[in-house]
Amino acid sequence: MKRTLLLYLALAFAPCVMGQDDTLQTDSIYVPTASESHVFRPQQLIAPVTLIALGTWGLADDSPIDWLAQKARYDMNPQCTKTKADEYLQYVPSGVHLVLGFIPGTKPRHNFRDRVLASATAHLLMSGFTNTVKYTVKERRPDSSKRNSFFSGHTATAFTGAELVRIEYGWAYGSAAYAVATTTAFLRVWNKRHWVGDVVAGAGAGILCANAGYWMLPVWKRWFGIDRRDEIRRRKKENQPLVVAMPFYLNEERAAGLSCSIVL
C-alpha cells in the first residue's frame, strides 16, 4: 500500500518538474523579460505535449498509465471519503496570478490589464480545448457517474493558473502555485472523479493554454491598438508643462499676489 501511494505521489508531482523549460538553470533561475514571455519557442511544447501524450496513453487498456489508474481506483481511498477542497483549490493559482502584483515587493512582468488579457485568453482556450476532448472521447469516470472524464477540467484550470504565475512572477512563486495545482490533481483521483491519465493530460493542457495566453497578448494589443494608446499617453505625460507657483508679499506697497511660471 505504501509503495502504491508513493507511485501516486510521484506521478502527481511529475507535472511540476516537467513544467520546467530551458529558463531553469542548474546554478540560477533565469527570469525572462516581458517581451521574451510572448515569444513562442518550440521547447515550450515539450512538457505539455509529453503530459498530454502520457495521459492519452492511459486510455489504452493494459498500458502502464492504465495500470496505475486501476491501482488508484481500487487501492487508494477504499472508504471513498470525499473532500470538496479541489472544487476551490483549482481557482487559487489563477487568482494569485491577477492580484499578486499589487503586493509590495513583488515584480510582475505585466500590468494588471495585460495580466487579465493573458489569463482570459488562456482560460478560454483551456475551456474550449478541455470540453471538446471531454465530449469527443466520452471516457467514463471512475465513479461511473458520467462519460466526460478525459481531460480533467479541474486539473487543467489549476495548471493553467500555475503556469500563468510561473510566467509572470518566476519560479519563486510558480513552485507554490504548482504545488496547489498538483494537490488539486491528486484530490481529483482521491475523490474517484478522474483516472490518473485524466489529470496528467489535464496538467499538460493547462500548461499549454497558459503559454498560449501570453503568446496571444501582443496580437490583442496590436489588434485593439493598446500599445499605440499607451505610447500616446506616455508622450503626453512626458510633454506636460511644468507649472511653478509662488506667493509673494510687498511690505512697502502692502500688496500680496501669486507669481506663476509655466515652462513648456
Q: What's the alpha-carbon Rg for the chain, to the nearest Å?
A: 26
For the segment 144-165, the average pLDDT, to the nearest whole number, is: 96
Q: What is the pLDDT of residue 2?
A: 39
Give which of 170, 164, 160, 159 is closest to 106, Cα–Cα. Answer: 170
Residue 124 within a domain: yes
Statement: residue 99 has pLDDT above 60:
yes
Q: Is 170 a domain residue?
A: yes
Looking at the 3D structure of the chain, how many domains does it have? 1
Residue 83 lies in a domain: yes
* Predicted confidence (pLDDT) per residue in 240-250, tens digit: 555 555 665 56
Closest by CA to 16, choosing from 219, 260, 185, 241, is: 185
110-146 residue pLDDT tens: 999 999 999 999 999 999 999 999 999 999 999 988 9
- Which set of grid coordinates corresponds to residue 83? 473532500
Find the domain containing 156 and state its range: 2-227
Please state, in angstroms and rounded to a whole number, the distance separating the CA atoms of residues 83 and 31: 37
pTM given for the model: 0.77
Please provide residue 132's backbone torsions phi and psi, each rounded to the nearest 5 degrees. Answer: -65, -45
Average of per-residue pLDDT values in the chain: 83
- Within a domain: 195: yes
Flag whether 127 is in a domain. Answer: yes
Asked whether residue 126 is assigned to any structural domain, the reply reads yes
pLDDT digits 0-9 by tens, 18-41: 444 444 333 333 445 555 567 888
The answer to whether residue 262 is domain-embedded is no
Residue scoring higher pLDDT (12 or 56): 56
Is 255 within a domain?
no
